[in-house]
C-alpha cells in the first residue's frame, strides 16, 4: 500500500516537471525590490536580463560577488554604479533578483 502511494507521488512529480514554466515569475519580497532597482538602472542595456547593449545576464552562472563587483566597478561600456545610486541593501536585492531570474530558465 505504501509503495503504491509512493509510485503515485513519483508519477505526479515527473508529470509536473515536463510541463513548461508558465505564468508570471514568483518573486519574493526581496526579489521584487531588486526588480525595481534592475528596471531603473540595468534594464535599458540588459533587457529582462537578456543581451542588449550589454551581455545576457541570464545565461551565465556568474556568482553574486562578481555581479556586485561588475556593478560597482563597471566594465567596458558599462558604467559604474556607486553607493549613492544603488545602496548596499538595493544591491543585495538586485543580486537576489538576478539569481532568481536565472533559476527559472
Residues of this chain that bind ligand HEC (CB under 6 A):
41-42, 44-46, 53-55, 57, 60, 62, 67, 70-71, 75-79, 81, 94
User: Closest approach of Cβ 12 to ligand HEC, in Å?
Assistant: 37
- Smaller CB separation from ligand HEC, 12 or 72: 72
Closest by CA position to 67, among listed 44, 97, 45, 47 = 97
Instruction: Give CA–CA dist 17/38, Å, rounded.
Output: 29
For residue 44, what is its C-alpha cell?
535599458
Q: What is the 3-state secondary structure (H, E, C) of 29-45?
A: HHHHHHHHHHHHHCCCC
- Smaller CB separation from ligand HEC, 8 or 80: 80
User: Closest approach of Cβ 29 to ligand HEC, in Å?
Assistant: 19
- Start-end of H helices in the chain: 2-18, 29-41, 64-73, 88-103
User: Closest approach of Cβ 76 to ligand HEC, in Å?
Assistant: 3
- Smaller CB separation from ligand HEC, 6 or 56: 56
User: Closest approach of Cβ 105 to ligand HEC, in Å?
Assistant: 15
Amino acid at each position: 500500500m505504501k509503495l503504491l502511494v509512493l509510485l503515485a507521488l513519483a508519477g505526479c512529480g515527473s508529470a509536473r516537471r515536463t510541463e513548461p514554466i508558465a505564468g508570471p515569475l514568483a518573486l519574493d519580497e526581496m526579489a521584487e525590490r531588486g526588480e525595481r532597482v534592475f528596471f531603473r538602472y540595468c534594464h535599458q542595456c540588459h533587457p529582462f536580463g537578456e543581451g542588449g547593449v550589454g551581455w545576457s545576464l541570464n545565461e551565465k552562472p556568474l556568482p553574486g560577488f562578481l555581479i556586485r563587483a561588475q556593478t560597482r566597478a563597471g566594465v567596458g561600456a558599462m558604467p559604474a554604479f556607486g553607493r549613492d545610486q544603488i545602496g548596499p541593501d538595493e544591491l543585495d536585492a538586485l543580486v537576489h533578483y538576478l539569481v532568481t531570474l536565472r533559476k527559472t530558465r
